[in-house]
Amino acid sequence: MSYVIVEVYLPAAGKSYDIKIPRCSQMWEVCKLVGQALEELSDGLYKATEDLVLCHRATGTIFNINYSVEELGIMNGSQLILI
């Protein structure tokens, strides 16, 4: 399985984190993985919920959870935001 490393900005912590995500996973799976990872990395500043959303950081475009990371064009170095 191949992965990409993305930068995810977490407004609740005011920090960005580098996260490794599977290229072939659907975004709904990635949202869960990222939420869990950031809950641990933020030292309790963020509590993952089921309704979290990943967006493209520069444009604010919300990613469709029914597409894969690869289909959405997310690649190494992509900057996302978790809301």
Structure tokens at 58: 């520069």
- The model carries a pTM of 0.90
Residue 43 confidence class, pLDDT cut points 50, 70, 90: confident
Q: Which amino acid is at 2?
A: S
Contact between 21 and 4 under an 8 Å Cβ cutoff? The reply is: yes
Give the burial class of 32: count Cβ atoms within 10 A of its Cβ; 0-12 exposed, 13-18 middle, 19 or more buried. middle
Q: Which amino acid is at 73?
A: G
Average pLDDT, the chain: 94
Residues 6+ positions from 55 with CB-CB distance below 8 Å? 61, 62, 63, 80, 81, 83
Domains contained in the chain, CATH given: 3-82 (3.10.20.90)
Contact between 54 and 34 under an 8 Å Cβ cutoff? The reply is: yes
Which of 9-23, 34-48, 52-66 is predicted least confidently? 34-48
